[in-house]
A and B are shown apart, each in its own frame.
Chain A
Amino acid sequence: MTGSMTSTRNPAEEMQTDPTRDRAPTSTTFSRTLGLAALAGSGWLIVFGLFLSPNDRVQKTGVRIMYVHVPSAWLAYLAFIVTGLSSIAYLWKRTRSLTWDRIAGASAEVGVLFMGITLVSGSLWGRITWGTYWTWDARLTTTAFLFVTYVGYLAVRDLGGSQQQRAKRSAVLAVLAMLEVPLVHFSVTWWRPLHQNETVSDGKLSGLMLFTLFVGIIAFTLLYVWLVLHRQRVLALLDQVDDQGLDVAIAERRDEAIAAQEVPS
């Protein structure tokens, strides 16, 4: 009986422990370099955004919010598009892999974070320029709707079931949700709301202001890649834990059955 019990050992007990690896289990040399670059970029953004870039003629110092607001909006769009494309890659039989599902989930989570930042920073900027934190104009409303959609997407991922079931239902939702991104982006053109039109492509920004905006976009893009890289590895670890839990439960039931057979009648 004791011999059969050895098979119920948790696989985690059998692993080699490496203190360096366990402090940063999702890190690699590449991700550490990327993280440092993102950190440096963020530092540059703060220095340029708060101190070196000039005030705007009309908005005065309020324009500095643009350097976090616009890059975070851009990152949220990028994140949701990556979620959609990864979901298509999962749904397509030739490329079907849970890695795509984890990239989609990680990207959506980071996208929700950046979309939340967009809404809050935009609200503060709105208070300065429009005198109100919120107005139901087309850009703000569609952005809020996009945010809620992806919060819903994350909730759908947590509904339970097998990893394949989770991947399939969330992939379908992500492909549909991706269609909202152009709706939000072009809302300023289609409905002419209170929110200003595109500033960068219209050539209204130049010099240090344009440079600072690009610093923000590069810094946030590096942050996004770093966050998604780590987050999808965390999701892979959680899936492994989930698999192990299932394996241990099956082994325990098997041992219980063997033990019951060995009990003398």
Chain B
Amino acid sequence: MIGMLNATFVLGSYALTFAAIGLYTLRMLAQARRAARQVPPKDRPWT
């Protein structure tokens, strides 16, 4: 178990790391949905 010493900094670094990645991912997926409404599926070569 994590000792209390400096636990705020340790937990803060993990929280900030995963929050940043999560927010970036959500923003990217929202942008993908908005853009996909204007592009026909035939123009998405990966599908």
Which chain A residue has the least Cβ–Cβ distance from B23?
A113
The verdict on A55 contacting B3 (CB below 8 Å), with A25-B44, A61-B10 known, is yes
Residue of B2, B7, B10, B46 with most chain A CB atoms under a 10 A cut-off: B10
A127 contacts B by Cβ under 8 Å: yes
Query: Closest Cβ of chain B: how far from A143's Cβ, in Å?
Result: 16
CB contact list, B10-39 vs A, under 8 A: 10-14, 16-18, 20-21, 24-25, 28-29, 31-33, 35-39
Q: Which residues of the partner chain A approach B29 to less than 8 Å between Cβ atoms?
A: 24, 26, 230
Contact between chains at B41 and A16 (CB < 8 Å): yes
When the two chains form the complex, which single residue of A22, A64, A69, A125 contacts B2, counting CB atoms closer than 8 Å? A64
A23 to B33 alpha-carbon distance, docked (Å)? 7
Q: Are B41 and A241 interface neighbours, CB within 8 A? A: no
Shortest distance from the beta carbon of A67 to any chain B beta carbon, whole Å: 9
- Contact (Cβ within 8 A) B37 A72: no
* Interface of chain B, main secondary structure: helix
A15 and B40 contacting across the interface, CB-CB below 8 Å? yes
Size category, B interface: 35 or more
Q: Check A223/B21 contact, CB under 8 A, given A16-B41, A22-B33.
A: yes
- Which A residues are CB-close (under 8 A) to B45? 236
In the assembled complex, the Cα of A236 lies from the Cα of B12 at a distance in Å of 35
Interface: A204 (CB within 8 A)? no
Interface size on A, residues (CB 8 A): 50
| Interchain nearest-CB distance for B25 vs A (Å) | 7
Residues of A within 8 A of B47 (CB): 21, 28
Chain A positions near chain B (C-beta within 8 angstroms): 10-12, 14-16, 18, 21-26, 28, 42, 46, 49-51, 55, 60-62, 64-65, 68-69, 72, 110, 113, 116-117, 120-121, 124-125, 127-128, 223, 227, 230-231, 233-234, 236-238, 240-241, 244
**What are 21 A-B contacts with C-beta separation under 8 Å?**
A12-B37, A15-B39, A22-B36, A25-B33, A25-B35, A26-B36, A28-B46, A28-B47, A50-B10, A62-B6, A62-B9, A62-B10, A64-B10, A117-B17, A117-B20, A117-B21, A121-B16, A124-B13, A237-B39, A241-B35, A241-B38
Residues of chain B at the chain A interface (Cβ within 8 Å):
1-3, 5-7, 9-14, 16-18, 20-21, 24-25, 28-29, 31-33, 35-47
